[in-house]
Structure 1
């Protein structure tokens, strides 16, 4: 027996400085704090184009919180709708000093960053489904030629969800 979720609805992170993390996710992602829970030293944030109640939960644990690398969460992946948005995300991460790298995974194109606590994340754009070709069952880690991808895929929307104020997008 199994079940089949549709998508990742939200993520929750432990952070050392709640206010600093709120500022980071607001300035870099444009997220707004939509709720706070002072008893848990927590904040819940929503992306500007999201239909979710919240996309990210942050729980402040203070500077003495454990720093762990090993088994567990490696990173979160946030999908953007166009290759232009991916390029803009790269620029924003660089400006914020949060950029850590980029790569092409064939069917997806990605840039990477880290928040002030070192929580890693991926910002990714997916090729149209009909263009996956040989990447249907492959996920290489190759150099990302972002200028070339911009020339090839400019204006192509692929997020596969409703964008408020826009039209339905199919993946």
Structure 2
């Protein structure tokens, strides 16, 4: 038997400076602090359109050397946007914050990459409508992202609400 999870609910990161990280995630994603736990030097943040209790937990642990890229552990978190236009807006936001580190097309998803002040990497991605995955349903290429072309093709298409229907994953 497997765990019957439907999606990642939240992430928790260790950060050097809690207030600096709160400021970054507020500026980059519009997150707000919905709770603090002073005994753990922690804050819990929520995305503006989220119905979740919290989407990101931050635990301040003080300055430490960054973990080398490519070493064991978490590579990145991925934040999904609803429209390709929101991905285009995210590119400008991340660039203005000096946090944009790359971009690519993975076929079914279009992605930007960034890093927070502690070097924690993240992805901001938009997913094609599932009916258009085609050859990408079982593939994840790494190709150049033509964001202007994707906006021209997919403008106005919302996909964040597409979920696997109940019972579809187990064949019932």
Q: Alpha carbon RMSD of aligned pairs, Å?
A: 1.2
> CA deviation digits over 1:47-105, x for unaligned, max 9?
00000000000000001x35323111000000000000000001000000000000000
Decide whether the 8 Å contact of 2:110 with 2:145 is kept in 1: yes
SS at match of 1:9: coil
Partner of 2:167: none
Partner of 1:68: 67
The 2-side partners of 1:61 and 1:22 are apart by 14
1:95 aligns with 2:86: no
- Residue 4 of structure 1 and its aligned partner are, at CA, apart by 2.5
The 1-side partners of 2:75 and 2:16 are apart by 18
Decide whether the 8 Å contact of 2:16 with 2:60 is kept in 1: yes
1:84 aligns with 2:85: yes
Unaligned runs of 5+ in 1: 163-171
The 1-side partners of 2:26 and 2:162 are apart by 22
Number of equivalent positions:
161
> CA deviation digits over 1:121-171, x for unaligned, max 9?
000000000100000100000000000000000000000269xxxxxxxxx
The 2-side partners of 1:94 and 1:21 are apart by 17
Taking the TM superposition and a 5 Å limit, the aligned residue runs for 1:85-124 are 85-124=86-125
Unaligned runs of 5+ in 2: 164-172
The 2-side partners of 1:66 and 1:36 are apart by 25
Partner of 1:23: 23
